[in-house]
Structure 1
Amino acid sequence: MKIEHVEYGKCEVSLYRSYATPLHGLRPIPESAFTGRENRLFAVNIAVHVLGHHVEAAYTEGDNSAVVATDTMKNFILYQAQVFAGSTLEGLLRFIAEQFLATYGDMAGIHIAGDEQPFLAATVPDAEGALIPSDRLFSRSRGDHGHARLTVMREDDGPALTDHQCGRRDLQLIKLTGSSFMNFPRDAHTTLPERQDRPLFIHLDVYWRYRDGDAVSRQSPVDYVDAAQVRDLVQVVFHEFNSLSIQHLVHEMGQRILARFPQLAWLHFEAQNRLWDTAFEANAGATGAGEAKVYCDPRPPYGHILLTVTP
């Protein structure tokens, strides 16, 4: 038996870094008020995997002499988060990966991924009684969040970023009116009615890659695409666009994102159709906005829509 590939690592490493370097100077876009963050609380969940055949003996002979314990890897990640001087998720991941390769000479490469753990500033009164975001009290959010995944490999002239993917995950958006689904094929198996106007509830993940992959974590703030801006842009498109299907909707989102961020080379959407079932409506057959209706969650099967686009 020949070993083709080995890797191992540590997952679910949650870290909470206080007072990281603020992120300022992002290029503003019309669809978003987000231009930076103070990073008083920089919270991330990280997974890291080590690449390299140097650990094959651990699999074939039980020889652990080349195996850095995953508990050691966890402690290493936490230490590097403390000394990290940057301000972005991608920058943190790349910094940690490069430090692994600099510290452990047998490692051929690192797969590292991270998900933001959102904490929102609580609203508190200032000295004059006006309500402002707190600079010290935060509330955990379980909603959508930024994501990034990098691969950093050891090369002759130093560590090199060989793959990357950034994203915004776990968006859940409901639009009460301004979406339809009609003129689809019907046969003996079709029971779905045509909907000229429907509430549309989607779960959505959006992923992207930069044209200059090596610059993903080292670019100036004006060229950085923050996941919060992508979230805001996606929401504006959903609000404005009268879509004829979810496919139609995500394609429009792709066009708008690529137009706003020419530094991107690739976009990928994964959407779920979580359209609610209608339980009761005040006026049977009415489709106008503002009519009182009651909905409930649908049965577990859901539509799954994927789209990948490039400029």
Structure 2
Amino acid sequence: MAFVLGPNRYGKAETRLVHVTREGDTHGLRDLNVSVALSGDLSATHLTGDNSGVLPTDTMKNTVYAFAREHGVGEPEAFALRLGRHFVSTQPQVSSARVSIEAYGWERLGPHSFRRKGDFTRLCVVTVSEDFTQVVSGLKDFVLLNSTASEFHGFPRDRYTTLPEATDRILATAVDARWRHLSDTAAWGESFEKAKDALVNAFVNTYSYSLQQTLFSMGTRVLDSRPEIAEIRLALPNKHHYLVDLSPFDLENPGEVFIAGDRPYGLIEGTVTRDDVPPAPTEWYL
């Protein structure tokens, strides 16, 4: 029996970068977590331990910091594109570079004072290869809640079903959304903010009979408003809220007092795509 090496990659994960832009008395701040993964002609190191084609992961870390100094950071997508193109163009054994960035938000309090914002984390994943460039943007941990305008009923029942039907419930989720761009050029900051706004508007304005319906509404709203986006994948955990039984205390509970459930939780996932765009050259939502 013979064994062969399958797909592989290596890199430097989670390089923390904080970049301060100093323009007189007014400073700017970028706070990133950068991961780089390279693939290509790397079989020798796996099969024989020959490291002649293995760019050290420490070099990747250093490149992140040096590029921040030499070129600035700017939007996460632009920074990831510069890094990815650098590794593919300077390392002949590397055929593909994947740069993933988590960007943490800060709110300005003054010319050089900031407060960390924790309402969501901005994401991007850029893949640069010899044949194509792919840009994916997104966000995670974006918590939204509607206190009404949500129902869930008409579902199949079997002998294990205990869930009552609901005609008025809290609908809450922590949005994880990733969207693939049609090209590697865009006004990245504006595109991200407008896509986020579209997600919020759809969640607020959709009377929901299921979280699946809300997911499709959110996805279609993004694609309808942002022509530069080819498709969007959403993962929506159902953050359950359970009405507290106050009858032991001779109290009514007309939909006011709830327990916020932790786990287990329902998880709804789906992709909304345009029917007139070519498929992604590689799996893009990982």
Instruction: Indicate whether the TM-score tops 0.5.
Output: yes
1:297 corresponds to: 260
Q: How does 1:189-204 map to 2 (within 5 A)?
A: 189-204=160-175
Which amino acid letter does the alignment assign opposite residue 171 of structure 2? L
Find the aligned partners of 1:46 and 1:256 in 2 and give their Cα distance. 30
Q: How does 1:178-257 map to 2 (within 5 A)?
A: 178-211=149-182, 213=183, 216=184, 218-219=185-186, 221=187, 226-257=191-222
1:32 corresponds to: none
What is the deviation of 1:87? 3.0
1:41-94 alpha-carbon deviations (Å, 9 max, x no partner): 1221111111112x3222222222222111111011111122235632111100
2:271 corresponds to: 308
What is the deviation of 1:280? 4.4
2:123 corresponds to: 147
Relative contact order (C-alpha < 8 Å, sep 6+): which is higher? 1
Give the TM-score, by structure 2 length.
Answer: 0.84
1:283 corresponds to: 252
Find the aligned partners of 1:210 and 1:65 in 2 and give their Cα distance. 35
Percentage of identical aligned residues: 26
CA 1:204–1:195: 2 relative to 1, 3 Å:
same
CA 1:39–1:93: 2 relative to 1, 3 Å:
farther
What is the deviation of 1:182? 1.5
Which amino acid letter does the alignment assign opposite residue 283 of structure 1? E
Find the aligned partners of 1:166 and 1:205 in 2 and give their Cα distance. 11
Residue number among 125, 138, 142 corresponding to 1:167 in the alignment: 138
Conservation of the 8 A alpha-carbon contact between 1:207 and 1:267 = yes
Find the aligned partners of 2:271 and 2:167 in 1 and give their Cα distance. 27
Name the SS for the 2:135 alignment partner: strand
Residue number among 7, 26, 33 corresponding to 1:45 in the alignment: 33
1:269 lines up with 2:234 in the alignment:
yes
Residue number among 11, 14, 18 corresponding to 2:16 in the alignment: 14
Conservation of the 8 A alpha-carbon contact between 1:180 and 1:243 = yes
1:3 corresponds to: 5
Find the aligned partners of 1:39 and 1:76 in 2 and give their Cα distance. 23
Find the aligned partners of 1:299 and 1:138 in 2 and give their Cα distance. 31
Unaligned runs of 5+ in 2: 275-286
- Which is further off, 140-149 or 267-276? 140-149
RMSD: 2.3
CA 1:90–1:299: 2 relative to 1, 3 Å:
closer
Unaligned runs of 5+ in 1: 22-37, 123-133
1:275-307 alpha-carbon deviations (Å, 9 max, x no partner): 1222246534x35xxxx31x2232521111112
Conservation of the 8 A alpha-carbon contact between 1:20 and 1:86 = no
CA 1:150–1:120: 2 relative to 1, 3 Å:
same
Conservation of the 8 A alpha-carbon contact between 2:14 and 2:33 = yes
Q: How does 1:26-45 map to 2 (within 5 A)?
A: 40-45=28-33
What is the deviation of 1:20? 8.7
Conservation of the 8 A alpha-carbon contact between 2:19 and 2:73 = no
Find the aligned partners of 2:195 and 2:252 in 1 and give their Cα distance. 38
Conservation of the 8 A alpha-carbon contact between 1:225 and 1:261 = no
1:147-191 alpha-carbon deviations (Å, 9 max, x no partner): 111211135xxxx41x33221211111221221112212221111
Which amino acid letter does the alignment assign opposite residue 58 of structure 2? D
Find the aligned partners of 2:13 and 2:216 in 1 and give their Cα distance. 33
Conservation of the 8 A alpha-carbon contact between 2:145 and 2:170 = yes
How many pairs align? 266
